[in-house]
Chains A and B, each alone.
Chain A
Amino acid sequence: MIETAAQLVFRRPRSLSTTLTHYCPGCTHGVIHRLVAEAIDDLGLLERTVLVAPVGCAVFAYNYFEFDGVEAAHGRAPAVATGIKRVHPELFVFTYQGDGDLAAIGTAEIVHAAARGENISVVFVNNAIYGMTGGQMAPTTLVGQRTTSTPTGRELSRAGSPIRMSEMLATLDGPVYMARTSVHNPAAIRRAGAAIRRAFACQKAGLGFALVEVLSTCPTNWGLSPRDSLRWLEDKMIPHYPLGEFKMTPAAAAL
């Protein structure tokens, strides 16, 4: 007889709740939620974490985690997070925002939170479209991409070019860590997880503002299958939104 000791190799992070999500099939928000929960577990922050949820598809994100949360108005999450963090510096405060929230209506709030070097963390989910309202053009929609508000494709001459927020914010002195990642395959997911962990560790160490952009899919509003969506992300989005770390101070690199 062979004796085997049961060994736990995989389980739900403590920070992740058992609530079923409202996300569409194939949407990568669920993967990103898990990465967030793993990082918080890993850094031992569950008991002092406050999530600031956005308006958009992640509006109910607080249902899917076990920590406290505040639901912000559209785009205002970095200001709300600033308010929490300034009165309670020992809390771990992060925002989870989509591209419409962060790169359109909330540009002032994200730029100035970054410029002040607020000691908060930002998870920026970029899927190049407005998901919750049914697929309108986002500030990150690619040129030529069809949406319900660009029915013949985004035209450069009328709607301009999609904003690369991470590169833009990396020009500021405030941020200590700024990276763009993706979740289109397991290797990319692993790197995204590591980046989120580093960003969160920056706050824990008191270093300052850190942001991780995560390229994400929207099969429903892109009109693609989940598998084709992952391909579209890789083939179309990554060329416009190159992956990488745009800002890393020596202290952030040492984490």
Chain B
Amino acid sequence: MLTRVLMKGNEAFAEGAIRAGCDAYFGYPITPQTELLEYMARRMPELGRVFVQAESEIAAINMVIGAAASGARVMTSSSSPGISLKQEGISYLAGCELPAVIVNVMRGGPGLGNVAPAQGDYFQATKGGGHGVYHSIVLAPASAQEAMDLTALSFDLADRYRTPVMVLADGVVGQIMEPVVLREYEKAVDLPAKDWKAGYNSGRKKNIILSISLEPEVLEGRNKKLVEKYDLIEEREVRWKGHYLEDARLAVVAFGTSARVALTAVRMARAEGLAAGILRPITLFPFPEREIAELASRVDGLVVVEMNQGQMLEDVERVAAGKVGVRFVGRLGGMVPSPEEVLAALRGFEEAAR
């Protein structure tokens, strides 16, 4: 029987990780994700697993590197300023091809900003973030349930592709309290063996985990291998969810909390006779390019809703390629857009058409 419990998003990330067999968690307190760390602090030792409160986000991500290098399922979490500090380590994870899960509960920025919900780290998360040629897989939960489910999924994706996976949520998803179904997560049975891991080197060639290649020809080869991996991920791992898209004349594209607000706006639009729908990317990298391109070719207008100045907007515009008008609704600094603002943008298309 499935158990339904009332849970905070931040706790759901943690519980999802635990249920996915996370062996070790390393973190540093920062609002608005600290409940995640506190949950791990309580549960991981009870389960005989590793919890370390690190001296900094930098140390935490490097502990993640060590644990991942020796074959563990491992996670860290933080919020925007702390995630900036982790970028060096995430670049090393990508370069060393190490699996790890990083949760970012985004807050207002730049700089210290505030502790209110935001989505200003979209560029950083989806385009690389640290130095060099790489991507992380990026998943964007919009509810406490998805916080749990997508975190659990992240461990399989990380192991399958030997890559860092970021769960990119905003402060609302971290702080919201809502019912969550506690599921059992079966680890995928076809994951590759971690025969590359460091430790226990008897009877085999030594394993070295590194990202350094001084010869440009060699590094180019490694870079190309990464790029091929990202191509494969783009081909196989796109995830998204649509509502009311079948007969839609207008469509919203939004992720996370913005998508929940936008869904309300879409229903309001439907109630007043506007054929609106919504496409919510669940993976931000890989980005649902084909689906959005297809949408762009058949609707009369797209509205992108974000809690930033228009970051995913650039990807939507790139994919829409001028086939349809794209409008933007965004709030900044920790403000959340209202359904009315989104509805107004949808109406704007209708009025322009008249």
Pairwise interchain contact A47-B26, C-beta atoms closer than 8 A: no
How many residues on B have C-beta within 8 angstroms of the other chain's C-beta atoms? 39
Query: Given the complex, which residues of B lie within 8 Å of A62, measured CB to CB?
Result: 206, 208, 210
Show the binding face of B for A, using Cβ within 8 Å. Answer: 23-24, 26, 50, 52, 54-56, 58-60, 62-72, 74, 88-89, 92, 96, 198-202, 206-212
Residues of A within 8 A of B211 (CB): 71
Closest residue on chain B to residue A53 by CB atoms: B210
Given contact pairs A73-B92, A76-B62, enumerate 12 new A-B contacts (beta carbons under 8 Å).
A48-B199, A62-B208, A65-B206, A67-B206, A69-B209, A70-B198, A80-B62, A80-B63, A84-B69, A87-B24, A87-B71, A88-B199
Known: A50-B198, A70-B208, A73-B89. A84 touches B62 (CB 8 A): no
Say yes or no: B69 contacts A70, CB within 8 Å: yes
* Interface membership of A68, Cβ < 8 A: yes
10 closest residue pairs by CB, A with B: A83-B66, A79-B62, A71-B210, A83-B63, A112-B55, A80-B66, A83-B67, A76-B62, A47-B202, A68-B198
A87 to B98, CA, bound (A): 15
User: A199-243 vs B: 1/0 string, CB under 8 Å?
Assistant: 000000000000000000000000000000000000000000000
Among A46, A47, A83, the residue within 8 A (CB) of B70 is A83
Q: How far is the CA of A81 from the CA of B66 in the complex (A)?
A: 6
A79 touches B54 (CB 8 A): yes
Contact B24–A70 (Cβ < 8 Å): no
Chain A residues within 8 Å of chain B by Cβ, number: 34
Tell me what chain A mostly uses at the interface: helix, strand, loop, or mixed: helix
Given A50-B198, A73-B62: A87 in contact with B210 (beta carbons within 8 A): no
A79-B59 in contact (CB<8A): yes
Q: Are B198 and A69 in contact, with the CB atoms below 8 A? A: yes
Tell me if A109 and B70 are in contact (CB < 8 A). Answer: no
* Bitwise interface map of A from 69 to 107 toward B, beta carbon under 8 Å scored 1, else 0: 111110010011111111110010000000000000000
CA distance A87 to B21 in the complex (A): 13
Min C-beta distance of B80 to chain A, whole Å: 21
A77 and chain B: residue at smallest CB distance = B62
- The interface residues of chain A lying within 8 Å CB-to-CB of B55 are 108-109, 111-112
Q: Taking the nearest CB of chain B, how far is it from the CB of A212, in angstroms?
A: 21
Residues of B within 8 A of A87 (CB): 23-24, 50, 67, 70-72, 74
Q: Which of A48, A71, A83, A86 contacts B212 (CB 8 A)?
A: A71
Q: In the assembly, what is the distance between CA of A84 and CA of B198, in Å?
A: 9
- The answer to whether B202 touches A82, judged by C-beta atoms less than 8 angstroms apart, is no
Residues of B within 8 A of A111 (CB): 55
Quick check: B209 and A76 within 8 Å, CB to CB?
no
Do the beta carbons of A84 and B66 come within 8 Å of each other?
A: yes
Instruction: Report the minimum CB–CB distance from A126 to chain B (whole Å).
Output: 22
Identify which of A66, A68, A82 contacts B66 (C-beta below 8 A). A82
Considering the complex, give the chain A residue whose CB is closest to the CB of B88: A73
Kindly list chain A residues whose C-beta atoms are within 8 Å of the C-beta of B71.
87
- Complex: chain A residue closest to B58, CB-CB: A76
A80 to B66, CA, bound (A): 4
Contact A83 B24 (CB under 8 A): yes
7 contacts between A and B (CB under 8 A): A71-B212, A76-B58, A82-B63, A83-B70, A84-B66, A86-B50, A91-B70
Chain A residues, CB < 8 A from B69: 70, 80, 83-84
Report Cα–Cα, A46/B198, bound state, in Å.
Answer: 13
**Closest B-chain residue to A109, C-beta based?**
B59
CB of A52 closer than 8 Å to a CB of B? yes
Contacts A72-B62, A79-B63; A86 near B199 (Cβ below 8 A): no
Q: Are A59 and B63 in contact (CB under 8 A)?
A: no
Most B CB contacts (10 A, CB to CB) among A65, A67, A80, A108 go to A80
In the complex, which residue of chain B has the Cβ closest to the Cβ of A69?
B208
Across the interface, A86 reaches (CB within 8 A) one of B52, B89, B202, B210, namely B52
Docked pose: A174 CA to B67 CA in angstroms: 22
What's the minimum C-beta distance from B132 to chain A, rounded to whole angstroms?
12
Contact at A70–B65, with CB atoms within 8 Å?
yes
User: B26: which A residues are within 8 A, CB to CB?
Assistant: 83
Docked-complex contact B59 and A108, CB < 8 angstroms? yes
* Closest chain B residue, CB of each to CB of A116: B52
Interfacial chain A residues near B199, Cβ < 8 Å: 48, 50, 68, 84, 88, 91
